[in-house]
Structures are given as C-alpha cells and as structure tokens.
Copies of this chain bind each other. A is one copy, B any other.
Amino acid sequence: MQIYYALKERIESGAYPVGQLLPSENTLLEEFGCSRNTVRRAVAGLVRDGYVQTRQGWGVCNIYQPIEASAYTMGTIESFAETTRRTGQDSATQVALFTACAADDDLARRTGFAPGTELFYLQRIHTIDGIPRILNHSYFRRDCMPGLTKEIAEGSIYRYLEQELHMSIVTSKRTITVERADALDRRFLTLEEYNCLAVVTSQTYNSDGILFEYTQSRHHPSIFRFQDNAVRTPAGHADARKRIANHTEL
C-alpha cells in the first residue's frame, strides 16, 4: 500500500508525464527495495482505480486525467457524508420511523434475509444545508445489534456497530437503478420538478459472513453521482469480453 500511495501521489502531482510510460517494474523494485511481486500488486491497484494501464511487452502507461469530477474515489458513491465533507456543507440525519418486525416471505425474497428473521426497520432522512436529499429504508438483523435505539440511529449506526459492538463490515453488494418517486419520496424529499430518484440497494455483510443489513437509499437526482472503472481482463481469460460491457452496443 505504501508503494501504491507513493506512485498515486506522483501521478496526481504530475511527476510522470500523462500518456507515457512509468519506470519499468524492475526499475521500481530497485527504487523501493522490494520484490517484483510487491511492485506488481501496487501497480494492479493503480490499474483498478484507473490511474494506469499495463500492456505486456510494453510497459505501464499513465492515463491519469484530472478532470473536474474525477476527484472522487473510484468505485464509491459520492454519498451524502462525502459530499458534505468535501463542500463543507451542513448535514443532519432524522429518523422518521423506528420499528421492529420480522421478515415475511415477500420481504425475505426482496432483502435476502431468511424468512422469519427478526429485524429493525428504519426510515431515515438525510438533509444537507437544511434540504432533505436522501431517504433511506433500512432493515437490520436485530440479533446483530441488540441495543440499537432511535437515538443511536439519529447519529451514526456504523460508528455504533464498529466502535461499540466491535463489529466490522466487510462486503457490500449494491445495485443502482432509477425509479419513479412514490408518495413517501415526495413527502420527505424536496423533489421539485423531478419525478424520479436514483436508488441504491445494498446488502451488507459483517466479518462473520452474515448479511446484517439491507438498505434502499433513495437519492435526489441532483446530488447523486457514482464513479467506476472497468478494466478489460487480459486476452485468453475466459471472460475477456464481459468486464467492459459498458458500451451499450455490440
């Protein structure tokens, strides 16, 4: 990770010319005093994050482009918290509903919880500079967070889970869609002329590998932005074609 950050820093600061090759792996391993394996893992991270591109027999090419919007971290949503932190705006969370329930068959199918699982169901609204921007529908496994209260939910549930319960979050599966605004969206969010929202559905697993959260985040379109980087698997790998199917054609 140190090498990854060192190289990333250099690329962002323009130490390596854009569109040209970085020093070869052999040069880098000498400079950093490590094995080739370690250099390669650092470079693989830069490829994943869209900073460089490698080609066998050629080298590692710098494709960094500091366009306005690409200051965000790859593969993450420019979320409520990040936006406000970046712009220094004011933010708050309000809990509209806090109840306990159990997963019936329909809910189980939608969320991925086993039928009968005891859950908390929360509706929360995030506001930024006083304007409601995100409406969250969340289901949490009750047995993973026995002491959860409305007061905690007003603050940060994740801080509670990690710092109080020492739970660690590991994996989150997300799906992004666009949906028509429903009555609840209109009631809580200031949608103005929009009649749709960006909807992020996520299933989150803790370090024991159990699904403990299902959340649907309904974002005001004007503040929603998601960045991603797709890399073609090298030729010869069986799924070479699938990983760059972002072009809506074939």
Chain copies in the assembled complex? 2
Q: Residues of B contacting A68 with CB < 8 Å?
A: 109
Q: Residues of B contacting A159 with CB < 8 Å?
A: 250
Q: Are B230 and A200 in contact (CB under 8 A)?
A: no
Q: Residues of B contacting A224 with CB < 8 Å?
A: 177-178
Q: Are B171 and A194 in contact (CB under 8 A)?
A: no
Contact of A81 with B169 at beta-carbon distance under 8 Å, contacts A179-B221, A195-B196, A242-B76 already known: no
Q: Residues of B contacting A85 with CB < 8 Å?
A: 250
Q: Are A243 and B76 in contact (CB under 8 A)?
A: yes
Q: Which of A28-36, A142-150, A205-213 contacts B (4 or more CB under 8 A)?
A: A205-213
Minimum CB–CB distance from A33 to chain B (whole Å) comes to 20
Minimum CB–CB distance from A225 to chain B (whole Å) comes to 5
Q: Are A246 and B194 in contact (CB under 8 A)?
A: no
How many A residues face the partner with a CB closer than 8 A? 90
| A4-28 residues at the B interface, CB under 8 angstroms | 5, 19
Q: Which of A58-66, A97-105, A182-190 contacts B (4 or more CB under 8 A)?
A: A58-66
User: Which residue in B47, B69, B80 is a CB contact (below 8 Å) of A248?
Assistant: B80
Provide the A70-107 mask, 1 if CB < 8 A to any CB of B, else 0: 10010111011110010000000100000000000000
* Chain B CB within 10 Å, residue with most, of A55, A61, A230: A230
Q: Are A225 and B176 in contact (CB under 8 A)?
A: yes
Q: Are A171 and B231 in contact (CB under 8 A)?
A: yes
Contact of A19 with B249 at beta-carbon distance under 8 Å, contacts A174-B228, A180-B193, A221-B179 already known: no
Q: Can you report 10 A-B residue pairs in the complex whose CB atoms are below 8 A from each other?
A: A53-B205, A62-B209, A81-B248, A126-B249, A157-B249, A158-B249, A171-B232, A175-B227, A194-B196, A226-B226
